């Protein structure tokens, strides 16, 4: 996506043009004429140097007179998708791409067909999707192509349903996806690799990845009988760099695996600067553009022509924005349906091709949401769990809305066939209130962890160097408190750190006190009160990875404590680090000491009341609840409402449905697709970081809700207005907004 753009307004129109066929007699005449012309031109072609294009036969074709090119296309019987005369051609006939982004990794496989059929009912003939490297190679050398990562099955399903595919192979994808699709283990390599560059260490990893990926998709290219008509190289590279050697290397890799006939393309913002930096002229790569919805498209398409070879620049907006992304603490992004449809029609009226971004957004399940930055890397803005995007097909697949209807009306005007009937919205059910029970307090678990699973070092270690890519890290050290209290400073923490202190068990039972929260976007010193410990004071810093930056100059985004930690101006040494990774979308941690111990505590808590080191019910804790679906009842989609809770993550039947943060908003409810649920008992587990709903209750409801926000948060303060350290009681933690 072109993040430098915002959404705006306009529309209008002209009539489309059609091509007439020749009569039988004319066809025979042209056949003889073409043969004579071809023979007479052979010596000329023999003297031409080979050109870097899709294939030599392709180049030969463009040197023929126009009437011969037309005749040749009418005789084509093999499958072929190509560019000529500033048009797309499919099997010898002009073709208008009416596409939309729909990402297989944001939809459960059980719902792929449902969402694709809805896209087809919208009027699409093509689906565009990214390929996130980190989904398929979560650990170096560990390849995953099953379940939600079963790319080949998704592509075959597109073909079965009569949809063509534009494949965005990366290796960088942006997509509001963690680290722009790069696997986070790239950040653990020493010395640092330079992402999106000609750095040999980086290119070696790309070659290894594409050496697995591209042979998998090669049989599914259009010329090989599959649905893939185009493959994108990188993504909006012109917005970040100017390394032509890097782009050319990617082209060479792609051609080596995919052959010369497939159309390779780039996507860049519709300005001269981005196109100059991001296009690959002379390598036979088609340059597509994206731009703000509502901009006059035709001057941009005219500019696009300057970056494509003559006759090879069909107007294509490869990201036509139907909505926009939303970060935590923002209002939900919404765009007007009629305005969007009018801007779309303005492109299509003059035979322009277009790909909706998004046709269907889906969900950032697990920990895969991305983030953006502003003026510097501390201006950090993580994305919601929902990737609804205000797309015509909503997060849950609903199509009974104004935007779907408005866009479908436009699509219907340009479709060569009647559009399929519109399916009804999928049924959703509110299964009622779910009572939860606190099953473990994080700090109760620490004594049970095997020391072999605790990393010790003089200085804090980044998450990636602990061989952990997602979740949380608990950093533990000790300091000697001053009589009047101490001051804690951590210059660089990614992304959010909750600070706790405790004396030894001999003093007040080792109770843990919450002190304050450090946030990447508003990092300030924290006052550590003197809790009058007999000896040193234990310091606990729980750091959450809230999603890596996916766009811009700060995507090299390691997580955890990334600097020295200072207490009263002195560097604090001798740290212990405990990983808390949790399940992610497509992987289960090999070993999670905290979760293993928490499971044991859960079994114990089922039989007796547990004593906790904290007072009340606040602080980082695990909560478990059960709800049943009658065996005679159809299992349908639902949402869980987290209103009244603080911040954390939720699991349903061991599936990580994502992050919640209603006190920041705007997302209140998490979407739970029916395939996650089952008839009989279902288990909900919540890891709440701050303060739960006082009744320890969540509700299963039948609709989304994006009306939560900072107004619900409160800060426990002293009479002088300063935040205080307190034992973990039901007081919510102080929250800040971006």
Q: List active site positions.
A: 236, 319
- C-alpha–C-alpha distance, residues 456 and 453, integer Å: 10
Sheet hosting strand 486-489, strand order edge to edge: 526-528, 486-489, 566-567, 570-571
Q: Tokens 């059980």 label which residue?
A: 110
Give Cβ neighbours of residue 50 (< 8 Å, ≥ 6 apart): 56, 59
CB 731 within 8 A of CB 716: yes
- What whole-number distance in Å separates Cα of residue 230 and Cα of residue 267? 12
Grouping H, G, I as helix, E, B as strand and the rest as coil, residue 493 is strand
Which secondary-structure segment (H or E) carries 399?
none
Backbone angles phi and psi of 619, in degrees to 5: 85, 170
Residue 209: C-alpha distances to residues 140, 144, 151, 253, 569 (Å): 10, 12, 14, 11, 46
Containing H/E element for 474? strand 472-479
Task: List the alpha helices (DSSP H) in 627-680.
Answer: none
345: left (phi over 0), alpha (psi -120 to 50) or beta: alpha
* Region for residue 86 given its phi and psi (left: phi exceeds 0; alpha: psi -120 to 50; beta: otherwise): left
Q: How many residues does this entry show for the chain? A: 738
User: Token pair 């565009």 is at which residue?
Assistant: 128
Residues 539, 542: Cα–Cα separation, whole Å:
10
- Other beta carbons within 10 angstroms of residue 145's beta carbon come to 16
Q: Residues 659, 385: contact at Cβ < 8 Å?
A: yes
263: nearest Cα among 86, 101, 129, 81: 81
Within its chain, how far is the Cα of 61 from the centroid?
Answer: 41
Q: Which H or E run contains 601?
A: helix 593-605
Residue partners of 541: CB distance under 8 A and separation at least 6 = 474, 475, 476, 490, 497, 498, 499, 500, 561, 565
Distances (CA, A) of 82 to 6, 72, 308, 483: 32, 13, 14, 77
- Percent composition of the chain: helix, strand, coil (DSSP 3-state, to 5): 30, 25, 45
CB-based burial of residue 705 (10 Å sphere; 0-12 exposed, 13-18 middle, 19+ buried)? middle
For residues 518-536, one letter each, b for 16 or more C-beta atoms within 10 angstroms of the residue's C-beta and e for the rest, the string is bbbbeeeebebbebebeee
Return the exposure string of 420-444: e unless at least 16 CB atoms fall within 10 Å of the residue's CB, then b.
Answer: eeeeeebebbebeebebebbbbbbb
CA distance 513 to 33: 90
508: number of Cβ within 10 Å: 16
Count of helices and strands (H, E) across the chain:
13, 34
Cα–Cα dist 697/377, whole Å = 37
**What is the rounded CA–CA span in Å between residue 415 and residue 354?**
13
Bond from prior residue into 729 cis (ω within 30 degrees of 0): no
How would DSSP label each residue in 363-384? B--TT-B-EEESSSTTSEEEBP
**Which of helix, strand or coil describes residue 525?**
coil
């Amino acid at each position: 996506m072109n993040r430098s753009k915002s959404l705006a307004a306009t529309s209008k129109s002209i009539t489309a043009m059609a091509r007439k066929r020749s009569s039988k007699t004319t066809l025979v005449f042209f056949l003889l004429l073409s043969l004579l012309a071809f023979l007479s031109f052979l010596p000329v072609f023999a003297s031409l140097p080979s050109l870097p294009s899709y294939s030599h036969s392709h180049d030969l074709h463009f040197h023929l007179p126009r009437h011969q090119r037309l005749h040749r296309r009418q005789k084509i019987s093999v499958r072929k998708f190509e560019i000529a005369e500033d048009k797309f051609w499919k099997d010898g006939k002009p073709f208008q791409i009416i596409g939309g982004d729909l990402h297989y990794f944001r939809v459960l496989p059980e719902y792929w067909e449902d969402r694709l059929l809805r896209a087809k009912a919208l009027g699409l003939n093509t689906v565009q999707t990214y390929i996130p490297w980190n989904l398929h190679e979560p650990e170096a050398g560990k390849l995953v192509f099953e379940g939600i990562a079963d790319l080949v099955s998704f592509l075959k399903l597109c073909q079965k349903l009569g949809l063509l595919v534009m494949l965005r192979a990366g290796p960088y994808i942006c997509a509001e996806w963690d680290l722009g699709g790069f696997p986070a283990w790239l950040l653990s390599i020493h010395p640092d690799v330079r992402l999106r560059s000609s750095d040999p260490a980086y290119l070696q990893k790309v070659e290894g990845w594409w050496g697995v990926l591209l042979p998998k998709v090669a049989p599914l290219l259009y010329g090989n009988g599959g649905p893939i008509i185009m493959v994108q190289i990188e993504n909006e590279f012109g917005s970040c760099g100017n390394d032509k050697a890097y782009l050319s290397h990617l082209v060479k890799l792609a051609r080596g695996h995919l052959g010369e006939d497939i159309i390779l393309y780039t996507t860049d913002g519709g300005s001269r600067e981005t196109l100059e930096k991001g296009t690959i002229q002379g390598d036979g790569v088609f340059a597509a553009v994206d731009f703000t919805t509502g901009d006059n498209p035709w001057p941009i398409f005219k500019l696009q022509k300057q970056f494509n070879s003559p006759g090879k620049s069909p107007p294509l907006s490869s990201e036509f924005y139907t909505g926009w992304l939303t970060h935590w603490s923002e209002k939900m992004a919404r765009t007007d349906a009629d305005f969007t449809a009018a801007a779309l029609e303005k492109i299509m009226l003059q035979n322009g091709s277009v790909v909706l971004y998004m046709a269907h957004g889906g969900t950032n399940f697990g920990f895969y949401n991305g983030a953006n930055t502003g003026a510097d890397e501390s201006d950090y803005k993580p994305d919601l769990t929902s990737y609804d995007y205000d797309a015509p097909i909503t997060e849950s697949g609903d199509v009974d809305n104004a935007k779907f209807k408005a866009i479908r009306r436009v699509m219907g005007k340009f479709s060569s066939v009647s559009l399929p009937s519109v399916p009804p919205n999928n049924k959703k059910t509110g299964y009622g209130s779910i009572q939860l029970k606190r099953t473990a307090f994080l700090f109760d678990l620490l004594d049970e962890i095997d020391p072999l699973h605790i990393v010790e070092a003089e200085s804090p270690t980044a998450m990636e160097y602990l061989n952990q890519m997602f979740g949380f890290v608990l950093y533990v050290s000790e300091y000697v408190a001053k009589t009047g209290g101490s001051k804690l400073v951590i210059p660089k923490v990614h992304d959010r750190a909750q600070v706790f202190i405790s004396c030894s068990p001999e003093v007040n039972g080792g109770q843990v006190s919450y002190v304050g929260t450090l946030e990447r976007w508003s990092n300030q010193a924290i006052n550590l009160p003197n809790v009058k410990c007999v000896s040193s004071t234990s310091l606990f810093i729980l750091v959450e990875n809230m999603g890596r930056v996916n766009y811009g100059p700060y995507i090299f985004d390691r997580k955890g404590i990334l600097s020295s930690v200072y207490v009263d101006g002195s560097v604090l040494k001798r740290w212990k680090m405990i990983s808390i990774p949790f399940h992610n979308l497509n992987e289960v941690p090999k070993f999670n000491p905290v979760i293993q111990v928490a499971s044991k505590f859960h079994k114990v808590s089922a039989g007796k009341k547990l004593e906790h080191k904290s007072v009340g019910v606040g602080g980082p804790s695990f909560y478990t609840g059960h709800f049943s679906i009658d065996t005679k009842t159809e299992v349908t989609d639902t949402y869980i409402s987290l209103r009244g809770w603080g911040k954390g993550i939720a699991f349903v039947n061991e599936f990580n449905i994502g992050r919640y943060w209603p006190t920041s908003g705007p997302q209140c409810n998490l979407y739970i697709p029916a395939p996650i649920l089952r008839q009989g008992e279902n288990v909900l587990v919540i890891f709440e970081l701050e303060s739960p709903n006082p009744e320890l209750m969540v509700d299963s409801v039948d609709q989304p809700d994006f009306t939560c926000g900072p107004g619900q948060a409160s800060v426990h303060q002293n009479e002088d207005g300063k935040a205080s350290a307190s034992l973990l009681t039901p007081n919510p933690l102080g929250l800040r907004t971006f």
